[in-house]
Amino acid sequence: MSSRGTPTKAIRQNRPSHSSSRRLVPHEALTSSSTYTHRPFNVVVTGDAGVGKTCLVLRYTKDTHTTQHISTIGVDFETKNVTIDGHVHRVHVWDTAGQERFRTIGSSYYRRGDCVLIVFDVASRSSASSIESWLHEAMKSAPLHAFIAVAGNKCELDDSRRMVSADDARGIVARANAQWMAYHADSVSQPPPILYLEVSARTGERVNLLFEYIMNMLIEQHNEHPYAYDTAAAAAAHLNSSTATSSKNCAC
């Protein structure tokens, strides 16, 4: 297995199945008779400023990339529809600002998140060191049914330009995972281990794979704990109707 490929077993033990019957399909391929099977899933993207969060979101939702470098102000919002096994699922992706002064705004979005995706830059040691800090933010505000994913952006860089090796990143995520599992030690049901994958928002490498893992886990979690998702519907509706103030580009 490639050191930068699919998640390692030590970090992601109950990986979702990827048979052809569960392949995600863009909404454009759906027929007009398709209907949603449940409320939208909410993925909250967080991490230090300048790691490429907005570029990652745009690569997944619009398959585009920008070289302009304007930081997100507050929170931005994108949406995408996919179908799995003939059922249409909508995912709302919330792109939060990484600057310290916006953290209070971001925490309000964690409370409605089904998944918190922490992004760091493999060319920035400090952004990797901040993973545990962002995890603690999620612990304070995210609902119990939420799960955590970590993405190391800019995997297209060669080793001479990386400041965080693949092994170092896995070690950081493993330590964060230990904290995450300990935090839920007294929970009725244990959350899945933290998912970790290296991606490239610039080239698109493994971006769809990352969100395929996330979508499959969201569906599995929804099927196992429908009450947690159903009781969060009103809060999610409030979140999805709020106005997000943002720029359109990122530093990546």
The pLDDT confidence band at residue 8, using thresholds 50, 70 and 90, is: very low
The architecture CATH gives domain 47-241: 3-Layer(aba) Sandwich (3.40)
Q: Which of 187, 200, 221, 167 is nearest to 11 (CA)?
A: 167
> pLDDT (tens digit, 9 = 90+) per residue, 209-221?
999 999 999 998 8
Q: What is the pTM of this model?
A: 0.78
Interior angle at CA 197, CA 1 and CA 43, nearest 5? 150
List pLDDT tens digits, range 140-185: 988 888 999 999 999 999 999 999 999 999 999 999 999 999 999 9
Backbone angles phi and psi of 152, in degrees to 5:
-95, 105
pLDDT of residue 245: 42
Domain boundaries, the chain: 47-241
pLDDT at site 222: 82
Phi, psi for 148 (deg, rounded to 5): -115, 140
Number of neighbours of residue 165 by Cβ within 10 angstroms = 12
CA 252 from centroid of its chain's CA atoms: 17
Q: What is the pLDDT of residue 66?
A: 78
